[in-house]
């Protein structure tokens, strides 16, 4: 159950982050409220995943790594952001860090 909450938290956070550009620096009401609501819901789902047995370090690492990877992909494919070697290396390092944390965690 914890991983379902975590997956929901990741998806909601990615949607909220994707909306940031449309807030125009939090000057547009509805996109801003959508972002705030999305981040609030994402944190609540992350908290639920942790209260249902997931370790905080693992939950947060997976949440941030998968979210970061998805946001990079959304930026490249939908927001006209360039893909660079630095971005690719950064995403690989983030994923490697999460894999390392998961391997080191007691199961």
Q: Would you give per-residue pLDDT tens digits along the chain (107 residues)? A: 999 999 999 999 999 999 999 999 999 999 999 999 999 999 999 999 999 999 998 899 899 999 999 999 999 999 899 999 999 999 999 989 888 887 887 76
Residue among 3, 13, 103 at smallest CA distance from 67: 13
Residue among 45, 91, 84 at smallest CA distance from 65: 91
Name the residue range of residue 37's domain.
2-104
- What beta strand segments (E) does the chain contain? none
The predicted model scores a pTM of: 0.87
Q: How many domains does the chain have?
A: 1
């Amino acid at each position: 159950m914890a991983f379902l909450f975590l997956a929901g938290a990741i998806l909601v956070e990615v949607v909220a982050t994707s909306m940031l550009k449309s807030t125009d620096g939090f000057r547009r009401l509805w996109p801003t409220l959508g972002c705030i609501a999305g981040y609030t819901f994402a944190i609540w789902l992350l908290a639920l995943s942790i209260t249902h047995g997931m370790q905080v370090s693992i939950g947060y690492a997976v949440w941030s790594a998968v979210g970061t990877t998805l946001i990079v992909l959304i930026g490249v494919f939908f927001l006209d952001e360039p893909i660079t070697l630095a971005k690719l290396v950064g995403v690989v390092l983030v994923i490697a860090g999460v894999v390392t944390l998961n391997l080191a965690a007691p199961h």
